[in-house]
Chain A
Amino acid sequence: MPDVRFHSVFDIIGPVMVGPSSSHTAGAARIGKVVRDIFGEAPETITIYLYESFAKTYRGHGTDVALVAGLLGMAPDDPHLPESMKLAYDQGIKVSFVPKSDKVDHPNTAHIVLQKGDHRLAVTGVSIGGGNIQITEINGFKISLSMGQPTYITIHEDVPGMIAQVTKIFSDAGINIGTMTVTRESKGEQAIMIIETDDYQDDILAKLKQLPHMVNVTYFE
């Protein structure tokens, strides 16, 4: 069996997007949007490290514009996507790009650092073609996250009982967890759970957010 990276017909026919490149524009916008959703608020500064093909052609493909559009919360088919730089400037967000010459696993890789006061988030995203993306690292934790399946990401304080409380919410709702990754910076600090489930239910997100010691929860498909 091959390394199966594409699961849906809409990975191939789609997405509907603003041009010019599905890897460099739509994929970049999706990476930006995921990072923004995990961050949960508008950042004050955005620093984007670009690797390989992203580093070499980011201006021509609008990768820079698309990443920032995503980080402002726009989807790849947002007609305002081409104006993202101006919109970021108007909102007082400082944006910088750092092309890197280091070798990485995939040609279209971006490492994004968002900051607002003490709140900092660093995420590595990869655009694997046709607008499809993978998230490979959050705050220094190596993870593997492919979009296209119901996925919850929690950021919470590293205290006993969090995993039990979170999984209870899914179990009470009768939702099966497919994969689950738990990781943390260091003992007692912030931790992250990435939960891929077989189904989605409207009220799960709110229930997770209400848990004590929960900092932020995001949902993707």
Chain B
Amino acid sequence: MFYTVKELIEQSHAFPSVAALMVHTEVENSTRTEAQVRHLMSRNLEVMERSVKEGIAGVKSVTGLTGGEAKKLDAYVTSGQFMSGKPIMEAVRNAVAVNEVNAKMGLICATPTAGSAGVLAGVLLAMRDRLHLSHDQQLDFLFTAGAFGLVIANNAGIAGAEGGCQEEVGSASAMAAAALVTANGGTVEQAATAVAITLQNMLGLVCDPVAGLVEVPCVKRNALGASQAMISADMALAGCISVIPADEVIEAVNRVGMQLPATLRETGEGGLATTPTGLRLKEEIFGK
């Protein structure tokens, strides 16, 4: 087992890939065989695919606060009039799709949480054809993301209630960035750099859901988180480095998370949740 990014990098050198290290570690720590572990991950991938498809077709949340924007983004991408680039816009669309399905109490795969489930599925499904990833390579993408996610989870956390959105969409984006780097032929060191770059930019991001719902701003933070994962991965692959090492960035995430007041940790008592519109929506949905 690896507890730091440094250990993850060192141990991975004895394996063909980070994914192989993750599968090996999982088999050692559980009662499952390698085939069972890969089969379970395959089921997760299926649910990710379904949730993206369902969201793009158009859904509405239980409260009516979110929904229908993945469909709009799909039409926009198809129109070809976007500025940033097709892979990024598809990742953004997919991320919105998953989180819209999540908000309507549909079936999703938490990566690492439900509130941040759009990022990883979003980038993987946008990039798998472009990177010619086989089914097994797509599973490896998820194992790589999971390996880096485990380190973040054990050294900081993955719950907005504990450490803010920096630990939810922040960790999801960092995991996705790392997996993108290795899927595109980068080294594990470059993957670690992508993790560091992503988390640095998310540092301090608060968790302030309007009416306490995983809808606003969560859906759009997933979209922007997916775009950041793509950019961080590209920067790392270009050879950019992180001055602060990944492990130290994760430690900073943990420290900042503990310093965040309870009002900004998923209680719905601060940030966007207590804007005039946020308060009005809360009253409309739940009464006084």
Contact = CB atoms under 8 A, between A and B. Distances in A.
Contact of A22 (B37, B114, B154, B175): B114
A165 interface: no
Contact of B212 (A8, A52, A59, A128): A59
A92 interface: no
B30 to A, nearest CB: 6
Contact of B43 (A7, A16, A20): A16
B109 A53 contact: no
Nearest to B19: A9
B11 interface: no
A39 B152 CA distance: 35
Interface size class of A (residues with CB under 8 A): 35 or more
Contacts of A16: 43-44, 47, 107-110
Nearest to B266: A53
SS of A interface (majority): loop
Contacts of B112: 11-13, 22, 129-130
A13 B43 CA distance: 11
A23 B30 contact: no
A56 B212 CA distance: 8
Contacts of B268: 56-57, 60
A9 B47 contact: no
Given A2-B155, A4-B3, 6 more contacts: A6-B158, A8-B29, A12-B146, A22-B115, A60-B268, A130-B110
16 contacts: A2-B155, A7-B29, A9-B26, A10-B41, A19-B103, A21-B214, A25-B105, A60-B268, A60-B285, A61-B213, A107-B265, A128-B162, A129-B159, A130-B113, A200-B31, A221-B31
